[in-house]
């Protein structure tokens, strides 16, 4: 029986879904799966700089060129260029995930390149993910109140799902305010600075999460990037205020940036099953609460790029380069027997996952 069939039955039977959820959350670690995952990918651990740079820069070039096209073209061509800009810039932005995980000695200059090309221009500098995302991968934090990237969406009310996605559309405006207004003000208002650091300096979805101030080299990088983002945000608003940048152009830029944020939020919506109620979980249970969307599905390459379609596998092997995840998945699929929990972490695509999540929230009004 394939996963799509299982999903369909689960959606039609909430009690079955609840029972399956409880069983997953109680699962002990599957040592065979964990051991095989560690052994089978030893030769895949080396990042390939050519792949990283070509993919990242190519995505950025296509994205910015399409953004220009969306501004200068008209009608349907502008819409098509805008869609292409969203997809390409989203792919380029997704490399912030790799910046967070990869050893910088393996990719010299890549973090700098990311920040110059995407981080500062789109106001998503690497410090907003570094020091935050790694907490999501801490075994004792995953799925708990201390996890910055976890909300038990499957256990929440139905209206939270559309709100969760819709609020992302306001992210570009929020980032402009954060860097153009709050950053400068926080330099002279210490309590505001504390709030900015704790609440507005991380790409987190858990509203209870509070970030600690960075220290040492991380703090120095943070300061440099925040100054750059602040100057850029102030300059951008000044260009609009003086009429140097037409309001229509600014509107197109904001619309595309919002599209990137919404697409990322949709991907986040189905990155996990979101079924944990806050208790610590085993690695195997965490894996089964996370989602792979492997081939033959094609669309995940667009909405879950740069290895994000293998999100569950990534939780088993966080340091594995994104370009190696497909091969690691193929090896594990072939090596593990049919009863292995590994096979239960793969799903057919976005519609089924959204339907499953929506079914989980039914009755929670």
Residues 35-71: tens digit of each pLDDT? 999 999 999 999 999 999 999 999 999 999 999 999 9
How many independent structural domains does the chain possess?
1
| Residue 278 backbone phi and psi in degrees, to 5 | 115, -5
Asked whether residue 8 is domain-assigned, the answer is no
Give CA–CA dist 126/52, Å, rounded. Answer: 16
Q: What is the pLDDT of residue 18?
A: 54
Asked whether residue 117 is domain-assigned, the answer is no
Q: What is the pLDDT of residue 111?
A: 97
Asked whether residue 75 is domain-assigned, the answer is no
Asked whether residue 104 is domain-assigned, the answer is no
pTM of the model: 0.91
Residue 26 has pLDDT above 70, yes or no: no
Asked whether residue 95 is domain-assigned, the answer is no
Query: Could you give the C-alpha distances from 335 to 28, 126, 283, 309, 360, in angstroms and in order?
Result: 21, 36, 19, 20, 32
Residues 228-250: tens digit of each pLDDT? 999 999 999 999 999 999 999 99
Q: Which of 59-63, 139-143, 264-268 bottoms out in mean pLDDT, i.e. has the lowest?
A: 139-143
Asked whether residue 206 is domain-assigned, the answer is yes
Asked whether residue 222 is domain-assigned, the answer is yes
Asked whether residue 97 is domain-assigned, the answer is no
Range of the domain at 214: 166-269
């Amino acid at each position: 029986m394939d996963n799509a069939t299982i999903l369909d039955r689960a959606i039609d039977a909430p009690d079955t879904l609840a029972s399956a959820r409880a069983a997953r959350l109680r699962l002990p670690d599957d040592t065979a799966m964990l051991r095989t995952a560690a052994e089978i990918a030893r030769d895949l651990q080396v990042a390939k700089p050519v792949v990283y740079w070509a993919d990242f820069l190519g995505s950025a070039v296509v994205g910015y060129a399409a953004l220009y096209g969306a501004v200068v073209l008209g009608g349907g061509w502008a819409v098509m260029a805008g869609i292409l800009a969203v997809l390409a810039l989203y792919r380029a932005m997704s490399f912030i995930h790799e910046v967070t995980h990869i050893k910088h000695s393996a990719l010299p200059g890549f973090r700098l390149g990311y920040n110059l090309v995407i981080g500062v221009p789109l106001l998503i500098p690497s410090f907003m993910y570094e020091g935050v995302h790694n907490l999501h991968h801490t075994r004792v934090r995953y799925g708990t109140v201390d996890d910055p990237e976890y909300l038990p969406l499957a256990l929440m009310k139905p209206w939270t799902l559309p709100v969760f996605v819709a609020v992302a559309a306001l992210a570009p405006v929020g980032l402009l305010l954060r860097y153009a207004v709050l950053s400068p003000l926080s330099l002279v208002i210490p309590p505001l600075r504390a709030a900015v650091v704790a609440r507005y300096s991380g790409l987190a979805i858990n509203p209870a999460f509070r970030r600690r101030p960075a220290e040492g080299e991380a703090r120095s990088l943070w300061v440099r990037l925040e100054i750059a983002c602040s100057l850029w945000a102030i300059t951008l608003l000044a260009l609009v205020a003086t009429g140097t940048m037409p309001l229509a152009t600014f509107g197109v830029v904001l619309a595309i940036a919002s599209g990137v944020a919404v697409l990322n939020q949709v991907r986040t919506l189905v990155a996990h099953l979101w079924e944990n109620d806050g208790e610590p979980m085993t690695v195997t249970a965490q894996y089964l609460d996370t989602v792979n969307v492997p081939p033959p599905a094609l669309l995940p390459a667009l909405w879950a790029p740069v290895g994000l379609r293998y999100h569950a596998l990534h939780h088993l092997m966080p340091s594995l380069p994104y370009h190696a995840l497909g091969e690691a998945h193929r090896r594990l699929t072939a090596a593990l027997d049919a009863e292995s929990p590994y096979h239960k972490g793969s799903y057919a695509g976005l519609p089924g996952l959204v339907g499953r999540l929506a079914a989980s929230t039914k009755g929670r009004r």
